[in-house]
Chains A and B, each alone.
Chain A
C-alpha cells in the first residue's frame, strides 16, 4: 500500500523533528506524513510528544531540528498566521471561543464581513448559517456560544476551521469530552470532511475509536515515532507499541469482601437538576455511575461532597448525617472528591507537588496555627513514591507534570487524608494507558483495605471493568442499577437513554434529530 499511495503525494510531511525544552527532550526524531483525504491517528501516552508535535504544526513552537514540508515544499511555520495561510487548523481541547459572543460573531472573530466599514450583520448571520449547515450542527447563529454545551461548541470550532479554508484539520482528543451519541455525530462529520478531501490528524486515547475513524496510525513513544501501522491493527498491538511492553489486563479489578455501608444517600434532590437519588456504597466496594453527560452525575457527586447544596434528602457517612453544603464537614467525616476538572478544581497549578499533596491535610498538620512543614514534606514524599509520581522533585510545579501524574497528585492528597469514601469523577479522562492501570490498581488497594470508591465515568468499558455495581443515571434520576458481572455496554446505554427518550429531552439528543 505504501508505494502507490505515496506516489499520490502528501499534503504534509515532517522528518526527524526534534525539540528540547530546558531539561527535557520533548521530541527526539519524529517522522509523520499526511495524505489528502485521510484520517491519520496520532497515538501515544501523555508526554510522548503528541502535543509538542501539533504545536509545531500550528506555529506555537519552532523545531530545533528537522524539516516540515507542506505540498512537497520545505517550509517553516513561525506563527498561527503562517499555519492558517498553509491551511492548517487546530482544534484544541480548550476551545478558542468567546463564551459571551454569539455563534456568528465567534465564527468570524477578527474578520467579520463588512459593509461601509461597519459589520454587515445580515451577511455574517447568513454565512454563519451556511457554515453550520456544512458541519450539520443545529445551532442558531445569534445564540450565545456559552449556552451551547461542549459538543456543539466543538462543532462550531470545526465550522470555524472550515471557514478559514483548512486543508489540514488537527483535532486534539476531540472525543474526550463527548458522549457516545455525540462521538457518533463527530465521526460522521469527520468522515464527511475526509471525503471532501480534508486531511485530518486525530488524537485519541480511546483505542476502540481508531478502527472506526482512522486510516493510518502513527505511534509516538518518548518523543520518537516508533511505528506507522494501519488503523485496523489489533488493540493489544497498539498498546504494546505505545507503552513499549504489553499490558496484561486493561481493567485489573480485584473484588474485595464487602463490609458495612460507608456512604448512604437518601432521596437527594436539587430541583431541576437531580431528583430522589438514593444508593449505598459499602466498604470494599467500587460503585460506578454511568450515564450521558448532563445526566446529573457530577452534580450529585458534588452535592454529596458538600461542594454544592441540595434541597431535600440526606447524606450519611458511617451512619452519621452530614451537613449539606459544607466541604469541610464532608472531609472531616471521611469523604474525598477527585473532581472532573482536574486543572480547574483539583490542583493549584502554580504551586508545587508538595504543596498540592498537603492541601487536604494542611489543617490536620497544623498545631496552634503552625504547619508542621517537615511532617508535610515527609508525608508528601512518601505518597509520591507510593503513587509513582514522575517528577523532578517535590518542588516541581504541578503545571509542568503530565496529565496522569497530575491526577495522581489529586488522588494522593485524599490518600494522605485517608478518605474512607473516595468519589472519583472521570478519574482517567485524558490519561494514558499506563497511568490508567496504575490508578485502577490504586482503586483495588483502596477497596482491599476497607475503603470505598464511587466512580463516575463516561468511559463505559472502564465503568464495567472496574465497578462491582453500576448505577445508571438519566435526566437527573437513577434509571437503574446493574451488577457489574451482568452489565454490558448495551444494557447500560439502554438505561442511560431510556429516561431521555421518554422524557422531554429536547436539549440533549433532540437537537441531533432535528437536522
Chain B
C-alpha cells in the first residue's frame, strides 16, 4: 500500500492494476473503508438496518451534521477551527422564524436574512482572527456565546414556529427523497467544487499548508480567511434552517454541541487539524459514519450513555489509524 502511494521510480508496476487502484483509493480515503465495514457489521447485527426507510432516516440524521461539517471543512483546511457553527445555526434559524412570523417578512426574504446572519457571524469571526489577531479557537468560542445568547434574546427563550412554506424543507418528496438529504448532497457538491476548482479553495489549501509561503506568493491571506469563515457561517445558517424545518420550529437551544460532531466528521474524513488537507467527500463519509453509528446503536438498543462512549472511541480510533497510516507511508 505504501509502495503504491510513494512510487518514485516506475517499478514493476504491471501487477494486477485493479487491486492496486482499489488499495490506493482506500489508502487515500481511509474513512470510506471504515464506512463499508460499519455498514456490513450493522447489517449483520440488525435486520432492520439495511432497509430503505432506515437508510433514509440515517441520511436525514446525517444531513445537519454534514452541512455544518462541510462549512467547517473550509476552516480546518486553512488550519483554523470554528466552534461557533452550532450556535450560529440556531441563531440563523431563530432569525428566520422570527422575521417570517413576528415581523411578517415573506418567506424567501426570511431565508435570505437568515443566510445573511450566518455569513455575518462568519465575517465577524474572520475579522477577529485576521485583523484582531485572535486565535481562531478563542474568536469562535466567543462567537458561540454571542450567537447562542442572541438566539435566546430574539426568541425570548422559547421555540418559534416556522411558517409552513419553510418547514416543507423538512419534508420527503414522494416518500423516497427527503429534502434534507437533497440539501446535504447539494451543499457537498458545492463544497467539493469550491475546494477543488476555485481560487479561494486552492488558496485555502495553501494557507493551511504554509500561511507565510502563501502570503509571500501574493495570496491575499486576510481576504481569503474572511471568505473561509463567511462560508462556514453561511453553511451553518443552511444547516440551522434544515434542522428547524424538520422540527417545524426554530429552537434557540437547537444544534448545541453540533460543532464538535462537525469537527469530528471533518477529522474522521481525513482532514488534518494542522491544515492543508481535507476533502468534501471525506467529510461526507465522516458525517455518515457518525450518523450510522448512532442509528445502529439505537437499533441494537445500546443505551445512550454507552453510545457516547462508543462514539468517542470511534473518533479516537479513526484519527489514530489515519496517523499510523501516514507514518507508514512516510
| Alpha-carbon distance A330/B210, docked complex (angstroms) | 20
Please give, as numbers and ranges, the residues of chain B lying within 8 Å of A370 by CB-CB distance.
Answer: 197-199
Please give, as numbers and ranges, the residues of chain A lying within 8 Å of B2 by CB-CB distance.
Answer: 22
Pick out which of these stretches binds chain B: A102-110, A117-125, A205-213, A339-347.
A339-347
Point out the residue from B3, B198, B206 that lies within 8 Å of A369, measured CB to CB. B198
Pair A392/B216 contact, Cβ less than 8 Å = no
Pair A362/B213 contact, Cβ less than 8 Å = no
Pair A392/B9 contact, Cβ less than 8 Å = yes
| Alpha-carbon distance A471/B277, docked complex (angstroms) | 43
Pair A351/B206 contact, Cβ less than 8 Å = yes
Pair B6/A22 contact, Cβ less than 8 Å = yes
Please give, as numbers and ranges, the residues of chain B lying within 8 Å of A305 by CB-CB distance.
Answer: 216
| Alpha-carbon distance A267/B5, docked complex (angstroms) | 52
A346-B216, A392-B7 given as contacts; is B276 within 8 A of A371 (CB)? no
Pair B6/A347 contact, Cβ less than 8 Å = no
Whether A146 sits at the interface, judged by CB under 8 Å, is: no
Point out the residue from B9, B200, B212, B277 that lies within 8 Å of A24, measured CB to CB. B9
Pair A371/B198 contact, Cβ less than 8 Å = yes
Whether A366 sits at the interface, judged by CB under 8 Å, is: yes
Pair B199/A373 contact, Cβ less than 8 Å = no
Pair A366/B198 contact, Cβ less than 8 Å = yes
Please give, as numbers and ranges, the residues of chain B lying within 8 Å of A272 by CB-CB distance.
Answer: none
Whether A327 sits at the interface, judged by CB under 8 Å, is: yes
Pair A349/B202 contact, Cβ less than 8 Å = no
Interface size on B, residues (CB 8 A): 31
Whether B218 sits at the interface, judged by CB under 8 Å, is: yes
Quick one: which of A305, A328, A345, A359 has the most chain B CB within 10 A? A359
Q: How far is the CB of B82 from chain A (nearest CB, A)?
A: 21
Quick one: which of B209, B213, B219, B329 has the most chain A CB within 10 A? B213
Pair A346/B213 contact, Cβ less than 8 Å = yes
Point out the residue from A22, A332, A350 that lies within 8 Å of B3, measured CB to CB. A22
Of all chain A residues, which has the CB nearest B221? A327
Pair B206/A359 contact, Cβ less than 8 Å = yes
Quick one: which of B2, B5, B6, B218 has the most chain A CB within 10 A? B218
Whether B301 sits at the interface, judged by CB under 8 Å, is: no
Pair A366/B217 contact, Cβ less than 8 Å = no
Whether A23 sits at the interface, judged by CB under 8 Å, is: yes
Q: How far is the CB of B155 from chain A (nearest CB, A)?
A: 36
Pair B209/A350 contact, Cβ less than 8 Å = yes
| Alpha-carbon distance A346/B211, docked complex (angstroms) | 10
Whether A316 sits at the interface, judged by CB under 8 Å, is: no
Please give, as numbers and ranges, the residues of chain A lying within 8 Å of B206 by CB-CB distance.
Answer: 348, 351, 355, 359, 362
A22-B2, A373-B197 given as contacts; is B216 within 8 A of A348 (CB)? no
Pair A392/B205 contact, Cβ less than 8 Å = no
Pair A327/B215 contact, Cβ less than 8 Å = yes
Pair A24/B216 contact, Cβ less than 8 Å = no
Whether B203 sits at the interface, judged by CB under 8 Å, is: yes
Pair A362/B216 contact, Cβ less than 8 Å = no
| Alpha-carbon distance A350/B8, docked complex (angstroms) | 16
Pair A371/B215 contact, Cβ less than 8 Å = no
Whether A307 sits at the interface, judged by CB under 8 Å, is: yes
| Residues 200-251 of B at the A interface (beta carbon under 8 Å) | 200-203, 205-206, 209-210, 212-220
Pair A359/B217 contact, Cβ less than 8 Å = yes
Please give, as numbers and ranges, the residues of chain A lying within 8 Å of B202 by CB-CB distance.
Answer: 355, 358, 362, 371
Q: How far is the CB of A323 from chain B (nearest CB, A)?
A: 13
Pair A347/B197 contact, Cβ less than 8 Å = no
Whether B11 sits at the interface, judged by CB under 8 Å, is: yes
| Alpha-carbon distance A319/B200, docked complex (angstroms) | 32
Please give, as numbers and ranges, the residues of chain B lying within 8 Å of A360 by CB-CB distance.
Answer: 217-218
Q: How far is the CB of A45 from chain B (nearest CB, A)?
A: 17
Whether A337 sits at the interface, judged by CB under 8 Å, is: yes
Pair B9/A331 contact, Cβ less than 8 Å = no
Please give, as numbers and ranges, the residues of chain B lying within 8 Å of A23 by CB-CB distance.
Answer: 3, 6-9, 11
Please give, as numbers and ranges, the residues of chain A lying within 8 Å of B3 by CB-CB distance.
Answer: 22-23
Pair B277/A345 contact, Cβ less than 8 Å = no
Q: How far is the CB of A344 from chain B (nearest CB, A)?
A: 7
Pair A348/B209 contact, Cβ less than 8 Å = yes
| Residues 308-358 of A at the B interface (beta carbon under 8 Å) | 327-328, 330-332, 337, 339, 344-351, 355, 358
Please give, as numbers and ranges, the residues of chain A lying within 8 Å of B215 by CB-CB distance.
Answer: 307, 327
Whether A297 sits at the interface, judged by CB under 8 Å, is: no
| Residues 186-219 of A at the B interface (beta carbon under 8 Å) | none
Please give, as numbers and ranges, the residues of chain B lying within 8 Å of A396 by CB-CB distance.
Answer: 8
Pair A371/B212 contact, Cβ less than 8 Å = no
Please give, as numbers and ranges, the residues of chain B lying within 8 Å of A347 by CB-CB distance.
Answer: 210, 213
Please give, as numbers and ranges, the residues of chain B lying within 8 Å of A351 by CB-CB distance.
Answer: 205-206, 209, 276
Over the window 3-34 of chain A, the binary record of Cβ atoms lying under 8 Å from chain B Cβ atoms (1 yes, 0 no) is: 00000000000000000011110000000000
Pair B6/A362 contact, Cβ less than 8 Å = no
Pair A344/B212 contact, Cβ less than 8 Å = yes
Of all chain A residues, which has the CB nearest B276? A350
Q: How far is the CB of B39 from chain A (nearest CB, A)?
A: 31
Whether A363 sits at the interface, judged by CB under 8 Å, is: yes
A348-B206, A369-B199 given as contacts; is B213 within 8 A of A337 (CB)? no
| Alpha-carbon distance A363/B223, docked complex (angstroms) | 13
Pair B205/A355 contact, Cβ less than 8 Å = yes
A344-B212, A346-B216, A355-B205 given as contacts; is B276 within 8 A of A392 (CB)? no
Please give, as numbers and ranges, the residues of chain A lying within 8 Å of B11 by CB-CB distance.
Answer: 23
Over the window 248-273 of chain B, the binary record of Cβ atoms lying under 8 Å from chain A Cβ atoms (1 yes, 0 no) is: 00000000000000000000000000
Pair A348/B276 contact, Cβ less than 8 Å = yes
Whether A40 sits at the interface, judged by CB under 8 Å, is: no
Of all chain B residues, which has the CB nearest A392? B8
| Alpha-carbon distance A363/B199, docked complex (angstroms) | 7
| Alpha-carbon distance A230/B2, docked complex (angstroms) | 41
Please give, as numbers and ranges, the residues of chain B lying within 8 Å of A358 by CB-CB distance.
Answer: 202
Q: How far is the CB of B183 from chain A (nearest CB, A)?
A: 23
Whether A413 sits at the interface, judged by CB under 8 Å, is: yes
Please give, as numbers and ranges, the residues of chain B lying within 8 Å of A348 by CB-CB distance.
Answer: 205-206, 209-210, 213-214, 276
Point out the residue from B7, B216, B219, B277 that lies within 8 Å of A337, measured CB to CB. B216
| Residues 266-286 of A at the B interface (beta carbon under 8 Å) | none
Please give, as numbers and ranges, the residues of chain A lying within 8 Å of B210 by CB-CB distance.
Answer: 344-345, 347-349
Please give, as numbers and ranges, the residues of chain A lying within 8 Å of B216 by CB-CB distance.
Answer: 305, 307, 327, 337, 339, 345-346
Pair A349/B209 contact, Cβ less than 8 Å = yes
Over the window 142-177 of chain B, the binary record of Cβ atoms lying under 8 Å from chain A Cβ atoms (1 yes, 0 no) is: 000000000000000000000000000000000000
Pair A363/B218 contact, Cβ less than 8 Å = yes
Of all chain A residues, which has the CB nearest B194? A369
Pair B214/A359 contact, Cβ less than 8 Å = yes
Beyond contacts A345-B212, A350-B276, A351-B205: 4 other A-B pairs, Cβ-Cβ < 8 A, are A23-B6, A351-B206, A359-B219, A370-B199
| Interface residues in chain B, defined as those with a beta carbon under 8 Å from any beta carbon in chain A | 2-3, 5-9, 11, 197-203, 205-206, 209-210, 212-220, 276-277, 329
3 nearest A-B residue pairs (beta carbon): A348-B209, A331-B218, A23-B8
14 A-B interface contacts by CB (under 8 A): A23-B3, A307-B216, A327-B216, A337-B216, A344-B210, A345-B213, A348-B209, A349-B209, A350-B276, A351-B205, A371-B198, A392-B7, A392-B9, A400-B6
